[in-house]
Structure 1
């Protein structure tokens, strides 16, 4: 809603509604690979998937530099200016202009590298240059900072549906890998460009003479180093796997397992994207108590969703993988069991690092923690990959993320009660363990097939929520009461 001065107020914006928007998209993101991955794994084969994983890991380094830290930084800065259109306009165009300059420099470097230096897989790498351009086009941070998650989710849903249709219509055999890569890159670019239709509602035309894009450079670089560490977990593992094992097959195993675990993780971190602008707004208004209350709610949510998703993925991995991926993916179930541990661990670090340290302008602490994790990840990869291959990369990722989370808890121990945070997990941990035991029993009874997996998921989920109901969990009670209120049930 706008005031007489043209400022947009956010009193009517609901955290619950924004979370529903965001998690609805994340669920679609989860469903999409459930539809397309079985098809692609059989059509492109494990080495085709591995080649795509390897080449995308290379372009990821350039994307990392091009993006700087503008996504989190832009979201934070816009959240501070939700009620000031004039300052918001100036800030938006300065950050976006900085992003365009950064992308232009990195795109030139990438093309030089691809054409003149690195002479393998040139076609795939050139196609993925579009992903670099997409970085400059991505202004989702503007809408997120304004807490307009419905618009972002709506746009994403449309392009996800188009994406699914494209895969089944255009990809038919292993030789279509180039078409697949081109389609994915074009879809991402168009998806980001579509957001620009909303820009006039939130910002005005820029006065380029008054813009100072490089005034934001220092702050974005401060958030750039954590991005480097994140890229190490998502790209370095794959690059090192290929270089050490000299085969794309291990990349294929790791890619498929990490893809599933990260997609499940998005359900947990979806709340973080919603919380950042609200916490940023409260911080700018010096409402310290409200900030801490929101953080403890976020921690409780991580336990509430993260633990059952972690143990649920472990319990269903061996039933799910054989029919889902087809033959040739024998290592994936065990990789899923290892990588499932990332769900609660990254969920906790997301609350401290993204929701708290960044919004309170202490990204230097986030930087230190992820740098420690990055070094640990690299060293552990060097030790474990030669002997354990993809298993080694998975174990290294889990240990590194755990180190980051522990270090971040150490930094905030005097501001947030670590004991309180972990005491919130008791009921969820107990219910999740019972669920895991039940799933292990079902796995011995049911043969791997889609019906068996659906039975396991349904039974596991029902058991978990029944146990929470019997334990009188406050978060479950709040959700039930909210649903009753929406449905006008007494």
Structure 2
């Protein structure tokens, strides 16, 4: 039993490392590319891309109909049944191909043949739809094979950076920039296709193929996907339609990107844990689920709280240095967006650790629909008066309502008090760090070196305070790395 536990722990650690590498690259690439493209394409150029990307996203959602979340969950629960894996994989692939074909026809007829504005850009982004049909990432997540996903994503991101810096030189290269992004995003899907046969070869099917038997269940996961997109992507569509300004969309896009970049790192543990928790739930191992949830909560709050405070304090100094001239309007937007780091960190944890693996998706759907309705109604009012700032406020309110509903209805699993117990030391340390950085902001002049100094002091103070407060998660992490270091030292 102990060996199995150690094997499971080792597996989670390996998956975390692979996923972390991929997520770090996913985080680093925008960090490297954003300042460059912000200056080359300017706010209005970035705004055009943001608007078109929001349009194609609706068709991507329609062709997915919740397949990714549903597929990962089913695969993780049945990964020991090879015959069923093959059956399920073929059925989902056929279903997705049919839906993608229908969406492709509607998209190209509507936005390429009928509407004539930005025809080339719409045509390029339509390739994103084609790639959906060959996306098997959900399958590899379900069988907890994160190594291949990480490797494929890292290669594609590196290629993206190289091509952008070499080929995109001025504003007229906007379409080329979009093409490079779309193609490199699709490359990991092609890379993973050959490995699918490892799980399906030499296995005979026991039943007749029926792709539409999964349609109804997929729709359960389709509803939250629609709701989530309404208060993430519809914002950009509504900004474009109501303000008729590419600049406002450009400001919104970059400010949101700055706030949401850290969320990819904060939530990566949750994505890894989702498959493992679904497996534990299928085997009724609830104590293990509770233990993993506490670990994930510690990790999420450890990062979310200081990053949220740090972004608020440094935005005035950071935005002009990072994005360049012409993006001053992004500063107040970053102030508004910053709490999303903590809010989404909590809701994402509850969604991946409780609502999805515990078959509570229908309840989750109701909350997401409520949030989506609130977001749309507030957008219609606030964007008209406050433009991009109004959309940012709407997003915050919608996400906060969803998180509060998640917390209330998950109180039998993981309560608000549980989050306080796990995170109060992070809140204390983060608040002290926040005050210190406010004082530094008052006395330090503008400049990149003073920004680096400010970030360094903030990080150092935060972790020193956690060490003084004897935070269990931090101490365990330090002990783990120290033991690894001693082992390496002995070997050398």
TM-score band, normalised by shorter chain: over 0.9
CA, structure 1 residues 448+82, in 2 after alignment: closer, same or farther (shift >3 Å)?
A: farther
Quote the Cα distance in structure 1 between the aligned partners of 2:486 and 2:468: 24
**1:119, distance to aligned residue in structure 2 (A):** 2.7
Aligned counterpart for 1:231 among listed residues 223, 229, 239:
229
* Corresponding residue number in structure 2 for 1:338: 336
CA, structure 1 residues 165+398, in 2 after alignment: closer, same or farther (shift >3 Å)?
A: same
**1:33, distance to aligned residue in structure 2 (A):** 1.8
* Corresponding residue number in structure 1 for 2:435: 437
Contact 2:54 / 2:234 at 8 angstroms: preserved in 1?
yes
* Corresponding residue number in structure 1 for 2:291: 293
* Corresponding residue number in structure 2 for 1:16: 13
Between 1:380-389 and 1:173-182, the stretch displaced more is 380-389
Contact 1:320 / 1:448 at 8 angstroms: preserved in 2?
no
SS of corresponding position for 1:225: helix
* Corresponding residue number in structure 2 for 1:5: none
Quote the Cα distance in structure 1 between the aligned partners of 2:206 and 2:64: 22
Q: Per-residue CA shift, 1:241-262, capped at 9, x if unaligned?
A: 1111111100000000111211
Q: Per-residue CA shift, 1:51-96, capped at 9, x if unaligned?
A: 0001111101111111111111111111112222222221222222
Quote the Cα distance in structure 1 between the aligned partners of 2:342 and 2:442: 26
Contact 1:128 / 1:182 at 8 angstroms: preserved in 2?
yes
2:131 paired with 1:134: yes
Contact 1:90 / 1:206 at 8 angstroms: preserved in 2?
no
**1:415, distance to aligned residue in structure 2 (A):** 3.1
Q: Per-residue CA shift, 1:177-233, capped at 9, x if unaligned?
A: 010111111111222211112212223377597222111111111000111111112
* Corresponding residue number in structure 1 for 2:363: 365
**1:166, distance to aligned residue in structure 2 (A):** 0.7
**1:10, distance to aligned residue in structure 2 (A):** 6.9
Aligned counterpart for 2:421 among listed residues 402, 420, 423:
423
Correspondence list, 1:175-324, <5 A: 175-204=172-201, 207=205, 210-324=208-322
SS of corresponding position for 1:336: helix
Aligned counterpart for 2:84 among listed residues 79, 87, 92:
87
Aligned counterpart for 1:73 among listed residues 61, 70, 78:
70
Which residues of structure 1 form unaligned runs of 5+?
Answer: 1-8
Contact 1:431 / 1:468 at 8 angstroms: preserved in 2?
yes
Quote the Cα distance in structure 1 between the aligned partners of 2:334 and 2:206: 50
Equivalenced residue count is 482
Correspondence list, 1:361-440, <5 A: 361-440=359-438
* Corresponding residue number in structure 2 for 1:39: 36
Q: Per-residue CA shift, 1:404-433, capped at 9, x if unaligned?
A: 011111222233333222232210011111
Between 1:306-315 and 1:23-32, the stretch displaced more is 23-32
CA, structure 1 residues 197+446, in 2 after alignment: closer, same or farther (shift >3 Å)?
A: farther
* Corresponding residue number in structure 1 for 2:116: 119
* Corresponding residue number in structure 1 for 2:3: none
2:175 paired with 1:154: no
CA, structure 1 residues 373+218, in 2 after alignment: closer, same or farther (shift >3 Å)?
A: same
TM-score by length of 1: 0.95
* Corresponding residue number in structure 2 for 1:484: 482
CA, structure 1 residues 481+10, in 2 after alignment: closer, same or farther (shift >3 Å)?
A: closer
Contact 2:39 / 2:324 at 8 angstroms: preserved in 1?
yes
Contact 2:73 / 2:142 at 8 angstroms: preserved in 1?
yes
Contact 1:64 / 1:228 at 8 angstroms: preserved in 2?
yes
Quote the Cα distance in structure 2 between the aligned partners of 1:52 and 1:200: 37
SS of corresponding position for 1:14: helix
Quote the Cα distance in structure 2 between the aligned partners of 1:454 and 1:17: 32
Between 1:225-234 and 1:110-119, the stretch displaced more is 110-119
Between 1:430-439 and 1:209-218, the stretch displaced more is 209-218
Contact 1:226 / 1:367 at 8 angstroms: preserved in 2?
yes
SS of corresponding position for 1:314: helix
2:140 paired with 1:143: yes
Quote the Cα distance in structure 1 between the aligned partners of 2:293 and 2:398: 23
**1:237, distance to aligned residue in structure 2 (A):** 0.5
Quote the Cα distance in structure 1 between the aligned partners of 2:48 and 2:206: 43
Quote the Cα distance in structure 2 between the aligned partners of 1:222 and 1:343: 27
Aligned counterpart for 1:165 among listed residues 162, 167, 186:
162
Quote the Cα distance in structure 1 between the aligned partners of 2:299 and 2:30: 25
Contact 2:112 / 2:122 at 8 angstroms: preserved in 1?
no
What is the aligned-residue RMSD (CA, Å)? 1.8
**1:361, distance to aligned residue in structure 2 (A):** 1.7
* Corresponding residue number in structure 2 for 1:58: 55
* Corresponding residue number in structure 2 for 1:174: 171
Between 1:359-368 and 1:163-172, the stretch displaced more is 359-368
